[in-house]
Structure 1
Amino acid sequence: MSAPTSLTPELLRGMPLPDHQQGADKNSRGRVLIIAGSREVPGAALLTALSALRAGAGKVQIAAPAGAAPHLAMAMPEALVVPLAETEAGGIDPAEAGRLARRCASADAVVLGPGMMDPPALAALTHRLLAEAEGEAAFLLDAGALAALADCREALRRHAGRLMLTPHIGEMCGLLGCPAEEVAADPLAAARRAAATYGAVVDMKGGRSFVASPQGEAWSCDRGNVGLATSGSGDTLAGIVAALAARGAPPLHATLWGVFLHAEAGDRLARRIGPLGYLAREIPDEVPGIMASLAG
């Protein structure tokens, strides 16, 4: 296999993001459906939604457990919030899959997984949603949703060419059924193997991120810093990537741009605040300026 291509501003300028002209309405800038959160981690949905809007999405919907929904609606007045039935453990009831599948028809990108608890319920929800989702939305699967994918191969085929996965080392172990030491020893190989296995664009998150396509192409991002290893950081990445896909970028381009924007945001925060101690909620605010600088 060839070495990965370095992810640089020059490379990204060669794959420009969709250009939204003055006068374009919010629907033309993309609609993101975020299925996320739980009783214990409602803020993950908020971070994902905030990031999607900062990355230029025109409309965001959050589908979250009913107990968290009013609080999310108050914290994120820009989003429509859909309350969903909860399991006893505070997760989303898998019986809501049909309702969510219909909502997918009006979305350009769907995020599933951030902050979601109750693994058995989430596995059932993930399988049903992938099998029943209506429309042609891009799907970004993150966090807990990744654990169910080994049993969802048939359902995943329905979304070929529209899938993005964003695992860290532990989640990649579940995707590939291998020990953490194997993934850590060669994260690029793990990214390529997962991309080929699941027919998805894969971002192998870590100190150095690797992005792989199902065809075996690969890119590496050397930007970013240890400060990005903080609670909620992955949720912001998911929102950024999903927004770019919703705006019309192909899944590969959306992932490459999203990985770079996320890393560069961390570098800017490290220079201004310090290498440790900046917050995930501060990452999205950096994104509009970085996008503008790359478009110039």
Structure 2
Amino acid sequence: MKLFSVQQIREIENKAAELGMSHQRMMENAGSAAAGFIRKNMDIRKKRIAVLCGNGNNGGDGFVVARKLFENDGEVTVILADGLPRTETATENLIAVRERDIPIVDYAGEPGKAVLHIKTADVIVDALYGIGFHGRAEGSAGQIIETVNRLKVPVFAVDMPSGGDCNTGAVEGACIRADYTLTFIGHKTGQVIFPAAEYVGDRILCDIGLPEEAYENMDYEAILIDFETVRSYFPKRQHNTNKGDYGKALIVAGSYGMAGAAAIAARASVLSGAGLTVCALPKSIDPLVASGLYEPVYRPLAETMDGILSNYTGSMLEDELQKADACLFGPGLGRSGEIAVLLHRLIERSEKPLVIDADGINAAAENIDIWKRKKASVILTPHPGEMARLTGLTIEEVQANRLKLAGDFACEHGVTVVLKGAGTVIALPDGKRYINTTGNPGMATGGTGDMLSGMMVSFLAQGMDTEHAAVAAVYLHGLAGDMAAQRCSQHSLTPTEMLNELPGVFLKTEH
């Protein structure tokens, strides 16, 4: 599913206007479609409906909604949050509301009366701010939003919950918490990026009758990952095959005290279908990992006094990489100059795709230009803190514009970036970007990232390209988390419980 920026939506609107569809007709169709959805999903007859209208075109959409609901026996009151409309098309629709004697209350002139109508409403329609809003909802609009959010009635947002940024997903102040967001023309990036995504509720794309030609050759910001797309990445396995047909994944992971990272990544690789998983790890933790996980092949390697892989293992790792189809480097390796030396050596000499995670990313952050010397594709899987170290920004700055930041970094350094978190962003070096929809807060616990990177290297080893491996791993990893949470709760969710769900996840891809 394509996601559009506000500017791209405006371009589609203008193209539709050039093709003969007036902005007045678009507003009429949008308001009619929104009202139609509300009527279809609830009986509005004799229901008290407060339609909250700002002074822009979103308010104009609200006037159309108010008129249509009134014409179908809703007891409608229009609340003007910021006075009279500023645009001609919205003004025309306010006139149409007045001609039907629909009650109108100006919040500025009669705040008490306006609040009473809001508090006693059975249904709220939010048409305060449109998709062009950014910043903080203040003044009368901010007060109205806070009042609405204290109510326990159905709330329908027109195009975007007021207070949320439709480009970045930022929420700087009060924001309408909608049950449904009725959007038009196309889905917008800010509707699926957190924190705004938490306020959207169910996102419904309403058809407003734009000609198909209006969408031709139009750019989009990102793609929202869906199950059917991911399932198409997994062809049916043929009977006449052997383990060599499904690739060899090399995992370089673990250190003293971090044996679990290696175990989780290796088990994820095995369960994700790699023909053979080879786990290279410090020799001191080899017995611990191998005694609990039998399927991988183990390569115990020399280590430092601190239990971290020694840089003297570089030639052995190169030999293993020559025999592998893809390599994961980083989970639980620890932070030291030894790890940085090993990473640089692999990047400079490897012709196999690499997944760099966790301490591998921390080592890379010390020499950000290392990517210029890579010979193969690289996937980086940072969480916000690691992304902050890679870019020199604060975590808050990273989180404020995840989609753009990941995209810019990927293009500048020629790598694929998987910026983890709620609504994980996948950015490719060619500018293409994805946003994930699976996953839940229970996955915010140690080890889930090791599982993700293990799945990713497994898919690469099986022959998926970088794009498909990253997208599939992120989506299915989140799906495993969702399935595990349904069984054991978000509070008790662990990587082990998620790993136990992977067979069920892959059953879904096979049917």
The answer on 1:119 being equivalent to 2:343 is no
1:141-290 correspondence runs (5 A): 141-150=356-365, 151=367, 153-154=369-370, 157-160=373-376, 162-290=377-505
Contact 1:54 1:285 in 2 (8 A): no
Contact 1:213 1:252 in 2 (8 A): yes
**SS of equivalent to 1:211:** strand
Q: CA deviation at 1:75?
A: 1.6
Structure 1: give runs of 5+ residues left out of the alignment.
none
Contact 1:98 1:129 in 2 (8 A): no
Letter in 1 for 2:386: E
What's the TM-score once normalised by structure 2's chain length?
A: 0.55
The answer on 1:35 being equivalent to 2:252 is yes
Question: Partner of 2:35 in structure 1?
Answer: none
Letter in 2 for 1:110: C
The answer on 1:88 being equivalent to 2:305 is yes
Question: Partner of 2:296 in structure 1?
Answer: 79
From the CA coordinates, give the structure whose radius of gyration is larger: 2
Question: Partner of 2:60 in structure 1?
Answer: none
1:47-86 correspondence runs (5 A): 47-86=264-303
Cα distance in 2 for residues equivalent to 1:152 and 1:63: 25
Cα distance in 1 for residues equivalent to 2:437 and 2:466: 21
Cα distance in 2 for residues equivalent to 1:88 and 1:255: 35
Cα distance in 2 for residues equivalent to 1:120 and 1:158: 19
Question: Partner of 2:77 in structure 1?
Answer: none
Question: Partner of 1:3 in structure 2?
Answer: 221
Q: 1:152 to 1:23 in 2, by over 3 A?
A: farther
Contact 2:325 2:461 in 1 (8 A): yes
Contact 1:17 1:249 in 2 (8 A): no
Q: CA deviation at 1:279?
A: 1.2
Q: CA deviation at 1:244?
A: 0.8
The answer on 1:20 being equivalent to 2:240 is no
- Residue identity (%): 33
Q: Mean Cα displacement is larger for which, 33-42 or 17-26?
A: 17-26
Q: CA deviation at 1:152?
A: 6.0
Q: Mean Cα displacement is larger for which, 207-216 or 148-157?
A: 148-157
Cα distance in 2 for residues equivalent to 1:234 and 1:261: 13
Q: 1:226 to 1:281 in 2, by over 3 A?
A: same
The number of residue pairs the alignment matches comes to 292
**SS of equivalent to 2:509:** helix
Letter in 2 for 1:153: D
Q: CA deviation at 1:154?
A: 4.8
Q: 1:43 to 1:154 in 2, by over 3 A?
A: closer
The answer on 1:140 being equivalent to 2:355 is yes
Contact 2:381 2:453 in 1 (8 A): yes
Cα distance in 1 for residues equivalent to 2:402 and 2:257: 30
Letter in 2 for 1:59: L
Structure 2: give runs of 5+ residues left out of the alignment.
6-219
Letter in 1 for 2:336: P
Contact 1:20 1:29 in 2 (8 A): no
